[in-house]
Chains A and B, each alone.
Chain A
Amino acid sequence: MQDEQRGEEEKRQAIKEEKEKKITGSSGSGGGGEVPKAALAVELPNELVVLEVLTRLPVKSLMRFKCVSNLWRSTISQDPSFSKIHRAWHSPSRAGGFSLHIPTPMTPYSLRCFYATTLPSSSCPGGGESVLLPHQFTATASNSCSKYNGATDVVKGLFCLYADESFQEIYPPPKSSGSVYSEDGSLLLQFGGHFALVRGLHSRLVKQELKIWVLELNKYKQGSYEWINRIIEVPWDFPVRGCSFTGNLPLPTGDQIRSY
């Protein structure tokens, strides 16, 4: 047992030495003047990296960044104060996450939703729930597209999704006269008190301007929402914040959308 540990220690030491050699080697040969020195001088202390940067990252990035170093791994998966701050930052009331509930052409009355759960305690040595994991489920609504009573209980307060590739799963809403959705994916989300339907997701988002169809809530009348359609353009890196619905999901259907 002890021998094994010592073996690991030696390996680590060897790797460290190897790296130091590389570093000194490269700085000796490189004729970098003041610029690289200045670049090297900027370093964020670990507390700031953890508190200000890591807490703002989506879960999926955090899972990958456990590979950065042992310290990062233990912070991300074992530090209860970190996960507390991360959860607070990404809780539905603060950042939301978004719920998707868009019928597919094949199954017009079914919903595809995303929600998050906590990791089983066995995978978190720190004990209990540590991080949120995105999941996906499909539910079927009882009758019409205008209300999704079937899903609300499940969605309540749970939504939290960041993974880009999930966008592939998104189907466009049903087409009807006057609706202007693209075929390559749409997503309902909320920001600044507006609901928005984002078009052209996935790879088309990268380094492009994003077009967002803002659907402003105009009226609330006997359980039905009326939306006004307005286009705005936002930078591709617009900080998207989702929402979680706690009542009926107000997904607009074709006849509720007026297009200008």
Chain B
Amino acid sequence: MASSIENNNEKLTLKSSDGEEFLVEKHVALQSTLLQNMLDSDCSSADVIPLPKIDARTLALVLGYCKKHADASSSKQGELNSFDSEFLKDMDMGALFNLVLAANFMEIKGLLDIAAQKIADTIKDKPHQEVREIFHVENDYTPEEEAAVREENRWAFEGFP
């Protein structure tokens, strides 16, 4: 009895790439499959779990998401949905990229889904030139080649520069 309460209150410490430490309740950490596997395989004995690829700002956001989703009961799906859209509302591309990277690394499927969907929704109506810049893609087309690809897909370009 006493031990189960203890387990519920168990906490672990996560350390961001820039050295900040976050004390996290275990049930919140379990939102991450990566952390869950670490805890299952008894890596929890380590005092601090380093997350060398995730900065403090991103980790704070990730843990905010995890806490909300860990605490909410399954009957509150509507509330979670509005939390999710509010959570991402004013986020810039850089922050969204960081979230996708962190969610992918920590294996938090729900967060990966909503952040990637937000990116997709943001770019879907942007001109391809802007998309190229957003993703830092090098344009390896010659102008002639690009024009040819564009001509093949002319129907999709109506209203675009």
With both beta carbons as reference points, the residue of chain A lying nearest to B144 in the complex is identified as A11
Known contacts A48-B100, A52-B104; is A66 also within 8 Å of B139 by CB?
no
Residue pair B150, A67 in contact (C-beta under 8 Å) = yes
Picked from B120, B125, B140, the residue with its CB within 8 Å of the CB of A69 is B140
State the Cβ distance, B139 to closest chain A Cβ, in Å: 6
- Return chain A residues, CB-CB under 8 Å to B135: 43-44, 49, 68
- Return chain A residues, CB-CB under 8 Å to B141: 67, 69-70
Residue pair B149, A66 in contact (C-beta under 8 Å) = yes
Is A61 among interface residues, defined by CB-CB distance under 8 A? yes
Is A38 among interface residues, defined by CB-CB distance under 8 A? yes
Is A175 among interface residues, defined by CB-CB distance under 8 A? no
With both beta carbons as reference points, the residue of chain B lying nearest to A58 in the complex is identified as B124
- Return chain B residues, CB-CB under 8 Å to A73: 149
- Return chain B residues, CB-CB under 8 Å to A71: 137, 140
With both beta carbons as reference points, the residue of chain B lying nearest to A63 in the complex is identified as B156
- Return chain B residues, CB-CB under 8 Å to A209: none
Chain A interface, number of residues (Cβ within 8 angstroms): 40
With both beta carbons as reference points, the residue of chain A lying nearest to B92 in the complex is identified as A39
- The 8 A CB mask of A27-56 against B (1 = contact, 0 = none) is 000000000001110111000110011101
Residue pair B156, A164 in contact (C-beta under 8 Å) = no
State the Cβ distance, B137 to closest chain A Cβ, in Å: 5
Residue pair A53, B150 in contact (C-beta under 8 Å) = no
Chain B interface, number of residues (Cβ within 8 angstroms): 41
Residue pair A65, B139 in contact (C-beta under 8 Å) = no
With both beta carbons as reference points, the residue of chain B lying nearest to A8 in the complex is identified as B142
- Chain A contact residues: helix, strand, loop or mixed: helix
Residue pair B140, A66 in contact (C-beta under 8 Å) = no
Residue pair B139, A69 in contact (C-beta under 8 Å) = yes
State the Cβ distance, B48 to closest chain A Cβ, in Å: 24
Residue pair B137, A53 in contact (C-beta under 8 Å) = no
Known contacts A11-B142, A61-B124, A64-B128; is A42 also within 8 Å of B158 by CB?
no
- Return chain B residues, CB-CB under 8 Å to A63: 153, 155-156
- The 8 A CB mask of B10-44 against A (1 = contact, 0 = none) is 00000000000000000000000000000000000
- Return chain A residues, CB-CB under 8 Å to B139: 15, 19, 68-69
Is A237 among interface residues, defined by CB-CB distance under 8 A? yes
Is B159 among interface residues, defined by CB-CB distance under 8 A? yes
Is B157 among interface residues, defined by CB-CB distance under 8 A? yes
- What is the CA–CA distance of A134 and B146 in the complex, to the nearest angstrom? 24
Residue pair B121, A67 in contact (C-beta under 8 Å) = no
Using A52-B116, A64-B157, A65-B131 as known contacts, list a sample of 13 further A-B pairs with CB atoms less than 8 Å apart, ordered by residue number in A.
A8-B142, A11-B142, A15-B139, A16-B140, A38-B94, A44-B135, A52-B104, A52-B119, A53-B119, A56-B117, A57-B123, A61-B124, A165-B159
Pairs across A and B, CB under 8 Å, 30 listed: A12-B142, A15-B139, A38-B94, A40-B136, A42-B97, A43-B97, A43-B135, A44-B100, A44-B135, A48-B100, A52-B100, A52-B119, A53-B123, A56-B116, A56-B117, A57-B120, A57-B123, A57-B124, A64-B127, A64-B157, A66-B149, A66-B152, A67-B146, A68-B128, A68-B131, A68-B135, A69-B140, A69-B141, A70-B141, A165-B158
